[in-house]
Structure 1
């Protein structure tokens, strides 16, 4: 890591732009940019950086640690910087809490949709089972009616009778179904051919 990299690292450590870093050290933006390009500042600037907790020996020679061992990050920041950081943390905490609420709401909606989907799935399965049973009953009823009347139904006529019965019975009550079966028996007897 060279001098330019170390000055850039100091600024990034502080979490500020080149303009803000220049203001903090009371130099021009161009001066700070030159430091980040490898130019060494004068002793007064190095002293200011040292007062903020940065190890000047590390800055110039690359030896040791970036911060003095007896300094913490809080000592390298002024009160306004700390207040600004605290405000940013509080803002971030509020955004996180808001995001957590949104996630919780989305989770609730997802669970509700899963429950609804499961109910609809169950209803569909029940309907399909009922439809299978009704179709089977229609096939048996048509075949029984034809057998009772000793009729041989051509395949198309048999399929038509089964389909008509299925469609007609699909939306009826049990009493209506029994009446329709009786009527269908009479219709099959009229349209069938004897065996």
Structure 2
């Protein structure tokens, strides 16, 4: 039987210390610290997501630029998947389907891109409140071949990117959904719902 006194002690929260003046300035300071912490935590999540997306982009770019299938055979992606899973057991994202998605992701933009993605997305990092709060978290330097990783992609989860290239026919259409995801913080479910609705409307117009 659980000790009642112990249970009560575990549920006790300190809301005020001794010998302190809880005036408006102090309360404002605590709020400011909380806001700073929330921003730092969000930036940390975006940073981790962005680094993983950068790796995905570079892997897709390598598969294209190295002409991997021509050089090492049609099963090279499956072999690469096995090698990565063997090297990093327990890590996710190294499945063959995911590696193929990285190649398709890179090709979708590399084959159609005629201007910088930042310009195409029409998002100004300084004026966009969400991006301004997050700050610049990813920068890829010294790209010799291929299309550099568009930094704004770091603010969109991988699953969203896969859905967008699966359903969109043009860069402009993809840019629209990337913008909405960044501006409004769409979940993948919301993104899928909007994309499905747009597809139905476009079919009805034909």
TM range (shorter): under 0.3
In the superposition, the TM-score normalised over structure 2's length comes to: 0.26
Which structure has more relative contact order (CA 8 Å, sep 6+)? It is 2
In terms of fraction of residues, the more helix-rich structure is: 1
In the superposition, the TM-score normalised over structure 1's length comes to: 0.27
